[in-house]
């Protein structure tokens, strides 16, 4: 992440982040369209997003592949501390 963010900054660019829920472990985000065990943890996603935010290079963001019919008790949208 440090290398990518440094490169974007050196080019004066901005990032578009497409956060695919499928990349997150289905234990945390069961609302994934194509769940795969062993995905990113909540802390890993949170850290990545914090780093991008702190870099000031975020231009746009979308969150994709959230299937509300598979999301038991809105678990994918709940904050984990």
Give residue limits of the domains in the chain: 2-10+26-77
Do residues 76 and 22 make contact, with C-beta atoms less than 8 angstroms apart?
no
pLDDT in tens, 27-79: 888 988 888 899 999 999 999 999 999 999 999 999 898 888 888 788 887 76
Whole-number pLDDT of residue 79: 62
User: Model's pTM, two decimal places?
Assistant: 0.79
SS3 2: helix
Element (H, E) at 53: helix 42-55
pLDDT in tens, 1-24: 999 999 999 999 999 999 999 999
């Amino acid at each position: 992440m440090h290398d990518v963010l440094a490169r974007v900054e050196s080019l004066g660019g901005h990032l578009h982040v497409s956060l695919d829920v499928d990349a997150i472990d289905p234990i945390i985000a069961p609302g994934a369209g194509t769940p795969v065990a062993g995905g990113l943890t909540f802390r890993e996603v949170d850290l990545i997003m914090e780093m991008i935010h702190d870099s000031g290079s975020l231009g746009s963001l979308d969150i994709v592949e959230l299937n509300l019919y598979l999301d038991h008790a809105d678990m994918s949208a709940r904050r984990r501390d």
